[in-house]
Amino acid sequence: MAVRLAVLIFVGATAACSSPPDDDTAPTPVSAENPPALWDSRTDTAFDYQLGGAYPPPPGTAVVVRDSTDLPLAGLYNVCYVNGFQTQPDERDRWTGEYRDLVLNGPGGRPLVDEGWPDELFLDTSTADRRRRIAEAVGSTIEDCARKGFRAVEIDNLDSFTRSRVER
């Protein structure tokens, strides 16, 4: 099945993050009856960057960026956040088990962690085969985003190599 998603990379998007609202109103999840909205990227649009847990967005929000483990919302343009060259915090067991040879090793052969994000492991992109296999694994996450109803994907941490220097 071919997956068609727009790929968005938000530069400095964390400056646009907002805190969860105080009220308990839960937006409607995406379904066949409540499809995600379309987004005209040529306009100024309020968006909410919700990493670390989904919550009802503030009034006036048209675009929401959520982690791949969360669900999209009906009536909003939903962007699925996916780590590209390092692991998601909740996927450590998957990568240290099924894909252990794709995790970059640090001193003593232990998985190398990103100091800025200590529960995220760097992936080893040093060979064509590893890059292909990482792309397949991350691709399955992107396909899950499409099945859930997200309209776009933000692939983050494509710059992991700048923080993962290992003496070989």
CATH of the domain at 83: 3.20.20.70
Task: With respect to residue 30, please indicate whether it lies within any of the assigned structural domains.
Answer: no
DSSP codes of every residue in 155-168: EE-TTGGGT-----
Dump pLDDT digits (tens) for 2-42: 333 344 433 333 333 334 444 444 455 555 565 555 555 55
Split into its structural domains, the chain has a count of 1
Q: Are 80 and 88 in contact (CB under 8 A)?
A: no
SS3 88: coil
What is the bridge-based pairing of β-strands 47-50 and 63-67? parallel
Residue 64 falls inside a structural domain = yes
102 belongs to a structural domain: yes
CB 64 within 8 A of CB 73: yes
Q: Is residue 118 part of a domain?
A: yes
Indicate whether this model's pTM tops 0.75: no
Q: What is the mean pLDDT of residues 153-161?
A: 82
Q: Look up tokens 């992109």; give the residue.
A: 125
Residue 94 covered by a domain: yes
CA distances from 118 to 86, 87, 128 (A): 11, 11, 27
Which is higher by pLDDT, 117 or 149? 149
Q: Which domain holds residue 60?
A: 45-162
pLDDT in tens, 53-63: 899 999 989 89
**138 lies in some domain:** yes
Residue 32 DSSP SS3: coil
Q: Report yes or no on 80 lying in a domain.
A: yes
Q: According to the model, what pLDDT value does residue 82 have?
A: 94
Tokens representing 98 are: 């099924």
